[in-house]
């Protein structure tokens, strides 16, 4: 049917019950069959692929449960590549050029390739930052790790849009990854504006075999809490307390086994970016800078990509080497929340035995 599906006068036939349905409502009507057994069913083989339901419900021949393999196969075929503004010369290359042009006594370690995924007013402004950070982390994995391209998002080789990621997360939950987190969000995120965080990121990536790790920073009483919602209190840790977080990030990126500065003061390491979560927002840490003060003390700056920032404005400031510092460089003085969470991905792909262990979420805790 080539008629305009947004035209209210355009009608289509439901592939389940042969009923005439407004084309604009066809998918909603068809999906209802998966959840209402009283509606008449036709054999699954008569369904076009776009009506395959891969996120639960009654979906198979003779009312047998659709297999996980069938759901995943369908999702692989239906997922959509996310649209984003691609910086022609590479965002991280521009950032590296800016850092190398600085004359201050400093050392910087960066992640490799990362694309910036911006939250859009028309799509996800106000709630989608978590999904955008997953997209940024995924762009790095696809570009930097050959083994990732084979397994991530079914070997599609691209970063899916938010609704496709939502379906992948539900598949991860159905496989048994992060059962408490799935329950907290009622096992349902597809098409919603629900907030997600580090544990959802880790669960999604673990379902593909990635060794995604979660790190918590906060007051001692929060040590046992691992989850999406970071507690928001009025207590503010001192700058000295936040040094624990800064030290962790520096040690993470500047692993002695992988980073050798030599005569360079800016190097590209092998570590993935860090999904950086706090109450109300999340961003992506793509590197860290250490500066030597006159008294010999090191101070750190996180290098952060924010989904809320305009990528075109960011690109312009990096190309001109003006104003980028305010957008990307974040010192200890910018850390004001009582709790933070990080998510990163260790190298390699887990074995089947390890995958079972990865279904249970855990984290390393540091007291602020």
Give the pLDDT confidence of 76-98 residue by residue, as tens digits.
999 999 999 999 999 999 999 99
pLDDT band for 63, please (50, 70, 90 cuts). Answer: very low
Give me the pLDDT at residue 356, please.
Answer: 97
Residue 53 has pLDDT above 80, yes or no: no
At 62 the pLDDT is: 35
Dump pLDDT digits (tens) for 266-276: 999 999 999 99
Q: Write down the pLDDT at residue 135.
A: 98
Q: What is the DSSP letter of 160?
A: B
pLDDT in tens, 172-192: 999 999 999 999 999 999 999
What's the predicted TM-score (pTM) here? 0.81
Residue 345 in this model has a pLDDT that exceeds 50: yes
Residue 131: closest CA among 49, 197, 219? 197
Average pLDDT, the chain: 84
129 is catalytic: yes
Least confident segment among 34-48, 152-166, 221-235, 248-262: 34-48
- With CA atoms as reference, report the closest residue to 278 among 228, 353, 226: 228
What's the pLDDT score for residue 227? 53
Among the options 187, 265, 281, 309, which is catalytic? 281
Give yes or no: 281 in active site: yes
- Quick check: is 278 catalytic? no
Asked if 106 and 314 count as a contact pair (C-beta separation under 8 A), the reply is: no
- Given the residues 124, 161, 178, 306, the one annotated as active site: 306
3-state DSSP call for residue 198?
helix
- Find the catalytic residue in 14, 66, 74, 129: 129
């Amino acid at each position: 049917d080539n008629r305009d599906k947004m035209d209210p006068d355009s009608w289509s036939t439901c592939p389940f019950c042969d009923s005439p349905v407004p084309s604009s409502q066809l998918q909603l009507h068809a999906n209802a069959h998966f959840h209402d057994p009283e509606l008449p069913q036709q054999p699954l083989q008569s369904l076009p692929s776009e009506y395959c339901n891969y996120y639960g419900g009654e979906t198979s021949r003779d009312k047998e449960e659709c297999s996980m393999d069938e759901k995943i196969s369908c999702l692989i075929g239906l997922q959509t590549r996310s649209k984003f503004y691609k910086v022609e010369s590479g965002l991280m290359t521009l950032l590296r050029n800016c850092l190398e042009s600085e004359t201050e006594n400093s050392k910087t370690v960066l992640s490799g390739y990362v694309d910036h995924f911006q939250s859009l007013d028309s799509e996800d402004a106000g709630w989608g930052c978590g999904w955008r950070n997953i997209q940024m982390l995924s762009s790095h994995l696809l570009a930097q790790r050959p083994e990732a391209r084979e397994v991530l998002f079914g070997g599609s080789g691209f970063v899916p849009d938010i609704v496709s990621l939502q379906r992948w997360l539900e598949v991860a939950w159905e496989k048994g990854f992060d059962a408490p987190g799935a329950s907290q969000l009622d096992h349902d995120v597809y098409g919603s504006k629900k907030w997600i965080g580090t544990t959802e990121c880790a669960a999604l990536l673990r379902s593909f075999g990635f060794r995604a790790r979660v790190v918590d920073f906060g007051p001692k009483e929060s040590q046992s809490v691992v989850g999406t919602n970071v507690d928001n209190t009025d207590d503010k840790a001192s700058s000295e307390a936040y040094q624990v977080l800064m030290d962790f990030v520096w040690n993470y990126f500047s692993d002695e086994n992988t980073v050798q500065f030599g005569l360079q003061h800016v190097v590209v390491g092998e570590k993935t970016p860090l999904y950086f979560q706090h109450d109300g927002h999340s961003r992506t840490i793509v590197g860290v800078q250490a500066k030597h003060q006159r008294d010999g003390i090191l101070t750190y700056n996180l290098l952060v990509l924010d989904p809320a920032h305009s990528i075109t404005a960011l690109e312009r400031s990096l190309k001109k080497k003006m104003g980028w510092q305010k957008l990307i460089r974040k010192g200890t003085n910018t850390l004001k929340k009582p709790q933070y969470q990080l998510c990163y991905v260790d190298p390699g792909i887990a074995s089947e035995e390890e995958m079972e262990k990865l279904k249970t979420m855990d984290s390393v805790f540091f007291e602020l």
